[in-house]
Chains A and B, each alone.
Chain A
């Protein structure tokens, strides 16, 4: 437990929103948290060890502090150290100061009123939110001289509260700034001014991502009264602002939201724009996934086009394209989304009294939630969004709006270029070395990376044959077949059931992937697992081509826990086989369910090699890539 690690936890939650999700205590705890706080904190704060002295800040009251503290802290170092470069000197010093204020924190307990006032805000969103306030205030007042220390104090609470509260939101840290506002009211006016100036400077210097601009005017507006009333007043003022803030935060469904959780689904529904009709017969196993009737939302949404001012038209267009299936494929969806965001950022202007980083993050979040309503995010899109939000959050507040926008736009362009376009070129370069003359290459469905590999190999004059395996309901292979045959490649086309027939003559299997998870599982178009399995049984090497930005650190063993359900009607209707479309009369039958899975998970033992932009690796090395090249240095 050295100081550096905890201080980095401050930055961490913004990126790793998933990991702390489970820490969110149930709602009843929240109401309790306030009253309990003052009672609990004294003994804790008295304890001399720094680890324990943190506890009033971090721990939800119902649990015993020393028990909860220790288990909770280990994750942060292990996670953080992977993703972040060595800490800057400012953050380190900041922590040293944090110890100071913690040591003084017992004084904060005395004013339970303040504790409550803090709680008013904090408790509304995080259970732990209420407790960090007093201690922070004390810290601020006790060490008013140095600008750096105050920054550190202001900086730290967001991270910690984030840890304790386990916010679902992607914009938690910004949120914390709002709640930390009242703190400043407790100092004298002069002190506060000096403090704010110092804060600003320190912020800019330390490249702290938190924005103080909102805080500053609000704080300045307050008269320098006695600390308590002022803080309460401010509370109310901010309280009026909060519901929106909270709403927006919750707007985004958790990436792995379980749709069998009734209450959450209800909440989500209230907010959703798309208002899809739910499918009638959901397969029991997949109750945790959203399944909607397709085709009903599209006209509805189109008619809403002019009413939805919250969603940027470019984003709206992309959303509709997702919904109608015009854009599909991991890369295409990701690029379309990023370009829509690019447009949105271009047209963005910060509303008065708001900061770019906060407001834009919220905007992006609302766009994302709109897109999720149209179609669940792919993992690659999640990674891209995470990247973009990280960039926005890291934006120095000293930058003017136009500068910040320009930087963000170039960041997005760079992401599209480096992570997708150039990455594909590198993959092609690697993969072509694995194609020899006389090879018979099998591919499944339609993958852009594989298509580029095949075309490139053909351009190089290699003599090979391609077997395209396809499956219902999307029949994407047909499109690939047309493109390849158009380019003069010799192709064999068949359906997935014939895979064991055709596998005898195949020498290599090239597969695309939607994502590769850190246990080596390849998450890809449904059917990929079958192809890989049969290839494995016939001792044919399986090469998975996947850009590294699609790697994800989560793990999955089967295809059921997390998946996407497609349109069930696509199953019952077979194109060109009218004689088979005979479920019309049975549609209402309870007994018939149609399951249209979109993805499946291929176990890593079927994969011989993963070709990625960092080279050709065995599937066991995927976690290494995630760890070493994950968001750490490359994305920041």
Chain B
């Protein structure tokens, strides 16, 4: 597939050069890329899902390696993998259900199928539980075991079905791919519209005459505030400018253009102003499974100040920002140091640089990190497109979007049949 490979390479270079700004754009483009990967992928008769998963994983691995801090890439890769598994399962369930209906008459047929049928029944139940249908008391009582084994069996389940139902193999394979692409399209749609769904909740959180503080720029925050404004709520927004990128300036400009009372302050004035602020509303770069937030630099300071003054610290995050990983030392490992030129002009200190040549290490270091980690205890509320959640609930919310199998996106050497 040379054309997809070209696309992938193109995207990889973009990621590596950090040409793509913002997790939403990254997420959307990743999803689009994976969609084209899936549609181009030739599927074997057996184990179609496995083949697709392999292909997506192969691409995903490269993408993640290209930009490890852009957690949205990994999130989308995992979401797509999850979608493939889900679709495969639903197809299998439908197949088995159909099979079971027809197989009521002759028990032998049932018997000479390998022992998989019981297993796949369990898989069906588990799938039913984990997907759209809420678990009924019936299913809970019937098959409690094997829940952990479900993900493994799902791929082999496809295998067994493929064997047993050779008749409509081709139609099924087409259907699987079609369904998957449909689902990925939905995902892309979700990513594009998540801020609308978040903004819908604005009225529940912003009231008349409130004073809201935000830092840096986030499309979600902008839409959120504007949605409240459209509902005739009049309030005041303090925007911290967010050095060294000064995206707060852009946000302030947009807010003013939309008619909100906006005050632009320096980042250093956050502590001074927060005592008069009713609520801090910020966007996030990524939300970790423990409820911690990877956010634009400076956010931890704002969160601490908010905590000191007991101001609610609200994080808006689309579902593509929910990352199933637990952070370890995120300040360093999930961070990125940007160019010092944002702080000091190039050559500004060139006359001082040679002082360090004696000892071998330069005297002057410039640190310019991109992200900050806000621990979950400082966050009051997450507002996602599915509603508001406590930080302690995020792990559960995240579990809905990902399958435990995909947390480590690495091709296992044994995956090939």
Partners in one complex: yes
| A contact residues vs B (CB 8 Å cutoff) | 283-285, 470-473, 478, 481-482, 485-486, 488-502, 504, 525-527, 529-530, 533-534, 537, 558-560, 563, 571-572, 574, 576-577, 580, 582-583, 586, 589, 591-597, 599-601, 603
Across the interface, name the chain B residue whose C-beta is closest to A533: B304
Please provide the chain B residues from 244 to 297 with a CB less than 8 Å away from any CB of chain A in the complex: 244, 246, 249-250, 252-253, 255-257, 259-273, 275-276, 297
Point out the residues of chain B lying under 8 angstroms from A490, CB to CB: 356, 361, 363
Question: Contact at A593–B367, with CB atoms within 8 Å?
Answer: no
Point out the residues of chain A lying under 8 angstroms from B372, CB to CB: 497, 500-501
Question: Contact at A500–B272, with CB atoms within 8 Å?
Answer: no
A285 to B188, CA, bound (A): 44
Whether A571 touches B271, Cβ cut-off 8 Å, given contacts A493-B367, A594-B264, is no
Q: Beyond A472-B268, A571-B241, A594-B264: 18 further Cβ-contacts under 8 Å?
A: A283-B263, A471-B243, A489-B363, A494-B366, A496-B267, A504-B331, A527-B267, A527-B268, A529-B271, A530-B270, A533-B271, A558-B272, A559-B271, A583-B252, A591-B256, A592-B256, A592-B263, A595-B265
Whether A496 touches B301, Cβ cut-off 8 Å, given contacts A482-B352, A501-B369, A580-B249, is yes
Question: Contact at A533–B363, with CB atoms within 8 Å?
Answer: no
A593 to B268, CA, bound (A): 17
Question: Contact at A495–B244, with CB atoms within 8 Å?
Answer: yes
Across the interface, name the chain A residue whose C-beta is closest to B308: A533
A494 to B301, CA, bound (A): 14
Question: Contact at A500–B300, with CB atoms within 8 Å?
Answer: yes
Question: Contact at A492–B355, with CB atoms within 8 Å?
Answer: no
Across the interface, name the chain B residue whose C-beta is closest to A525: B268
Question: Contact at A492–B256, with CB atoms within 8 Å?
Answer: no
Cβ distance A279 to chain B, nearest Cβ, rounded Å: 13
Point out the residues of chain B lying under 8 angstroms from A537, CB to CB: 304
Point out the residues of chain A lying under 8 angstroms from B250, CB to CB: 580, 582
Question: Contact at A494–B264, with CB atoms within 8 Å?
Answer: no
Point out the residues of chain B lying under 8 angstroms from A595, CB to CB: 238, 263-265, 269, 273
Point out the residues of chain A lying under 8 angstroms from B270, CB to CB: 530
A601 to B271, CA, bound (A): 9
Question: Contact at B243–A491, with CB atoms within 8 Å?
Answer: no
Question: Contact at B265–A571, with CB atoms within 8 Å?
Answer: yes
Cβ distance A567 to chain B, nearest Cβ, rounded Å: 12
Question: Contact at B363–A574, with CB atoms within 8 Å?
Answer: no
Across the interface, name the chain B residue whose C-beta is closest to A475: B343
A473 to B270, CA, bound (A): 14
Point out the residues of chain A lying under 8 angstroms from B304, CB to CB: 500, 533-534, 537
Point out the residues of chain A lying under 8 angstroms from B267, CB to CB: 471-472, 495-497, 527, 530
A491 to B253, CA, bound (A): 36
A276 to B292, CA, bound (A): 49
A472 to B301, CA, bound (A): 16
Point out the residues of chain B lying under 8 angstroms from A492, CB to CB: 364-367
Q: Decide yes or no whether B74 CB sits under 8 A from chain A.
A: no
A495 to B341, CA, bound (A): 12
Question: Contact at A497–B276, with CB atoms within 8 Å?
Answer: no
Point out the residues of chain A lying under 8 angstroms from B4, CB to CB: none
Whether A600 touches B369, Cβ cut-off 8 Å, given contacts A574-B249, A592-B252, is no
A481 to B264, CA, bound (A): 27
Please provide the chain B residues from 357 to 410 with a CB less than 8 Å away from any CB of chain A in the complex: 361, 363-369, 372-373
Point out the residues of chain B lying under 8 angstroms from A589, CB to CB: 256
Across the interface, name the chain B residue whose C-beta is closest to A491: B364
A496 to B352, CA, bound (A): 23
Q: Decide yes or no whether B76 CB sits under 8 A from chain A.
A: no
Question: Contact at A582–B249, with CB atoms within 8 Å?
Answer: yes
Q: Decide yes or no whether B157 CB sits under 8 A from chain A.
A: no
Q: Decide yes or no whether B158 CB sits under 8 A from chain A.
A: no
Question: Contact at A285–B298, with CB atoms within 8 Å?
Answer: no
A81 to B308, CA, bound (A): 38
A589 to B271, CA, bound (A): 26
Please provide the chain B residues from 96 to 128 with a CB less than 8 Å away from any CB of chain A in the complex: none
